[in-house]
Chains A and B, each alone.
Chain A
């Protein structure tokens, strides 16, 4: 299969929602990126960046509500830029050091105030060695993706203490692993909101109880009522936006708001690949309305002509509801996310 076919294949899968869930999406995107980079017969790095960007645009357009796609593409672009710079620095060491060390440019005050046009870097020579280095780095990202759960769950014992009552919502693999890890050392109780209308919370509760955790399923409406007894809210998320806001399963906003009211700490477990440099200019832009069948059965017939049924899949949770992010690189407060974004993405790539 040529790389165009591979791209089309993934685009179709994303469009048709055959591929969902940020983790799966991220891994598929990365695989595709490796194929694209290794098959592209290009002479300059600029061309490579343009190619990766154009593929990225296609993928993002295929399903704009999966920010993980864009994030992975940006990470790859960042890797390409870094590798190129390293290679240039190495060659220039022999001669004169002409280019300023650009790694720090994006975060320096000079950059914020200076003329951005002068910063347009030129990416030239695309050598074979450079390509190998890039592919190696991209493969490192892949390893990072694979070990994300381990890295996050190893922090569990720092955050969950004995006899605590933890509340969660929805079914998140990250949270599940996190809680299971904690359960291997400590004894605590978990309350899971059932998460209507998808009822993922019920599945989550089942998984947790299989692992021997004392689990209780509560209706979503009871979240506020029992919040006063809860020590900590641990959430999974679909995406983290640049301001620290979350795109997470419906009901999360309600739970976070209840937690804030009771001053219960809210902890979000997330892989770094979910961190997106995009800002939520509009509450609706990252949500997706799915088939309303679960809210009002389609066979209701007469009624569905007369009412509009909305079934949003995601909530937007503003950053002031979140106290701590636990990523594969450790725990960060929401105010620190800008730093992670600078470290992981190049500012030129924020809009693909």
Chain B
């Protein structure tokens, strides 16, 4: 033990491993075992995580299991025998998300100091001491620095980047603070998905920021004790990133900060999907994860792998026939036999497998105790333990064959098939699908339940598809994307329209609603004006836009059939709500504009518009909302003369008023009388 730890003996470094992924990307295989127990290069996934934590100097690990907890517990029990670390298992079958797990953790009060939070599928050769050191130093200065995320730089098309789980980080390199977080989906069809919204304060506080999408987020976090408590406080947080980090950073009240540590020359990735399983397997075989490579024999199962030229890893007990060809990047587990003329390349083969003659295996992941008989071909697939593949079978790319399945002779498994030997949920016995697995086979095609709870927020079904499809290699991804790209463009085009259209529609609706409310609840004009002004500012529009909506809105309220007293006659509406229009009109230009709107509105939008036009005009004139110059300006402008007969007729209606206005020095009282009589006429 290094002396440093002896000094701070009371500070045992703790880690929390979430042994559940809370999603269903590995089904049907994960129906039968936990995700973190799946073998990755013939070693259970969670051992990589344990190793990583052991290197980091963790002395106490809490493993949080939900599904298949008994299996995880059993594994941990075995592992504990060989390891000097104290490992506890916490079983909580009802936890459905990271948030639930953290709340459970808070309730149990097991965490005493800063801890490392990882998922049970992290593969990394990182040494965390520097991250821990910096985190502690920051905590010493500022108690609000609650979390440090570890991020790894990688280019956009990197195979170790999960296609569906990208993220955008807004970072301040100087203070190592993360300022904003937003998840990125592979296909972002809605407008919200495609935008990044952040508070302007970020720019005020930080002179220099980086907005980055080139970071692999492997969800290795150094958390302080407050983190589980914060999850309890905010009981709706589910995901550690999109809810917790986003929530903390956007909340003004909490005042907590989240920091990051960017790492470059180390490896870190998470087996999030089948596509990532493939990529990380290849990284391990290519030794990017050194020293976490098969020939380090880190596992507790007593493996003795040796690395040969061409990155071939095999145990001493492997029996290769004389004519079989083991090409590059192959891992072969103990006691496996390969018969004559078989060709293996880029694949992982588990323990005690029997591979027949003339078999071609490329890019496949074959787990323990699998029997593959002669002349079988397979590419890019996962075959779980104890499966049997009989003679002359062809397995298409992207297939997943679960535990104990038997594929009968001469079957052809189409690409992307998932086969399980578990009976359907509502049945007791397995009904084999003979068309798929042949008469001697055992297994049925597996289709996922349509609405999986975890991903219901994903509006675009393609996002799910990406993770499912993508355990296959580049070509498939390409093909899938090409296929998608056509529809992608379409949706893009429609989105553009939406972008222009949407705010207009929005404003229309909002204004109409505000006016309705004002009419029905008999608001004060000032209040209505205030609301409308707020709307105007919110939608970033101008008074012209508002007039365009409010004038017809008010005039529409007039009911010609209504009896006086109901508040709906021309006069009553105008006296009651006219000032509202007045609030939208300020200078002479506005007045002219208002007149044009009034004209076109009365001419086109309203029935019996001509009956409204005259009185309105007069009312506005009387109330000094429209001034003489403006009315004259309108009347004499060429635009008022354009338009259909309805518009011209309205102009005629205005003629007496114009004549009156143009008459020199008329008496005020006269004018009033005159107006009144005209109004009565119109009615």
Q: Which residues of A contact B309 (CB under 8 A)?
A: 284
Contact A291 B267 (CB under 8 A): yes
Known: A12-B84, A301-B159, A305-B474. A290 touches B290 (CB 8 A): yes
Looking at the complex, which one of B54, B55, B155, B286 makes contact with A301 (CB distance below 8 Å)?
Answer: B155
Contact A302 B155 (CB under 8 A): yes
Question: Chain B's nearest CB lies how many Å from the CB of A311?
Answer: 8
State in angstroms the CA–CA spacing of A300 and B288 once bound together: 13
Q: Which of A15-23, A37-45, A188-196, A247-255 contacts B (4 or more CB under 8 A)?
A: A15-23
Closest to B57 in A: A18
**Interface size range on A against B:** 20 to 34
Question: Chain A's nearest CB lies how many Å from the CB of B102?
Answer: 29
Q: Is A96 an interface residue (CB 8 A)?
A: no
State in angstroms the CA–CA spacing of A301 and B307 once bound together: 24
Question: Chain A's nearest CB lies how many Å from the CB of B473?
Answer: 9
Question: Chain B's nearest CB lies how many Å from the CB of A285?
Answer: 8
- B596-617 residues with Cβ-Cβ distance < 8 A to A are none
Looking at the complex, which one of A17, A62, A289 makes contact with B287 (CB distance below 8 Å)?
Answer: A289
Q: Which residues of A contact B155 (CB under 8 A)?
A: 299-302
Interface string of A224-238 (1 = CB under 8 A from B): 000000000000000
Interface string of A287-309 (1 = CB under 8 A from B): 00111111000111110110011
Q: Is B112 an interface residue (CB 8 A)?
A: no
Question: Chain B's nearest CB lies how many Å from the CB of A202?
Answer: 17
Contact B265 A15 (CB under 8 A): no
Contact B158 A289 (CB under 8 A): no
State in angstroms the CA–CA spacing of A289 and B293 once bound together: 10
Contact A291 B297 (CB under 8 A): no
Closest to B328 in A: A308
- B264-298 residues with Cβ-Cβ distance < 8 A to A are 264-265, 267, 282, 286-291, 296-298
Closest to B154 in A: A299
Contact A298 B296 (CB under 8 A): no
Looking at the complex, which one of A5, A9, A298, A309 makes contact with B154 (CB distance below 8 Å)?
Answer: A298
State in angstroms the CA–CA spacing of A298 and B158 once bound together: 9
State in angstroms the CA–CA spacing of A301 and B160 once bound together: 8
Q: Is A61 an interface residue (CB 8 A)?
A: yes
State in angstroms the CA–CA spacing of A292 and B173 once bound together: 28
Contact A16 B291 (CB under 8 A): yes
Closest to A284 in B: B309
Total inter-chain residue pairs, C-beta < 8 Å: 80
Q: Which residues of B contact A50 (CB under 8 A)?
A: none
State in angstroms the CA–CA spacing of A18 and B157 once bound together: 33
Q: Which residues of A contact B287 (CB under 8 A)?
A: 289-292, 311
Interface string of B48-92 (1 = CB under 8 A from A): 000100110000000000000000000000000011100000000
Contact B84 A9 (CB under 8 A): yes
Contact A16 B311 (CB under 8 A): no
Interface string of B100-115 (1 = CB under 8 A from A): 0000000000000000
Contact A8 B82 (CB under 8 A): yes
Contact A5 B125 (CB under 8 A): no
Contact B55 A18 (CB under 8 A): yes
Interface of B is mostly: loop
Contact A301 B156 (CB under 8 A): yes
Contact B297 A15 (CB under 8 A): yes
Contact B304 A61 (CB under 8 A): yes
Q: Which residues of A contact B308 (CB under 8 A)?
A: 284
Q: Which residues of A contact B55 (CB under 8 A)?
A: 16, 18
Closest to A18 in B: B55
Interface string of A123-145 (1 = CB under 8 A from B): 00000000000000000000000
Q: Which residues of A contact B156 (CB under 8 A)?
A: 301
Question: Chain A's nearest CB lies how many Å from the CB of B259?
Answer: 22
State in angstroms the CA–CA spacing of A61 and B298 once bound together: 11
State in angstroms the CA–CA spacing of A308 and B346 once bound together: 12
State in angstroms the CA–CA spacing of A128 and B173 once bound together: 64
State in angstroms the CA–CA spacing of A304 and B474 once bound together: 13
Contact B154 A308 (CB under 8 A): no
State in angstroms the CA–CA spacing of A98 and B683 once bound together: 144
State in angstroms the CA–CA spacing of A32 and B286 once bound together: 34
Looking at the complex, which one of B83, B125, B311 makes contact with A291 (CB distance below 8 Å)?
Answer: B125
Known: A291-B287, A298-B267. A5 touches B84 (CB 8 A): yes
Q: Is B568 an interface residue (CB 8 A)?
A: no
Q: Is B138 an interface residue (CB 8 A)?
A: no
A-B contact pairs, 6 of them (CB 8 A): A12-B83, A15-B296, A63-B296, A290-B290, A298-B154, A299-B214
What residues make up the interface of A, taking CB atoms closer than 8 Å to B?
A: 5, 8-9, 12, 15-18, 61-63, 284, 289-294, 298-302, 304-305, 308-309, 311
Apart from the given pairs A293-B265, A299-B158, 12 other A-B contacts in the complex at a CB distance below 8 Å: A8-B83, A16-B51, A16-B55, A16-B291, A17-B296, A62-B297, A289-B307, A299-B264, A300-B155, A302-B158, A304-B286, A308-B329
Which 6 pairs of residues, A with B, have the shortest CB-CB distance? Answer: A301-B155, A301-B158, A291-B290, A17-B291, A299-B154, A290-B290
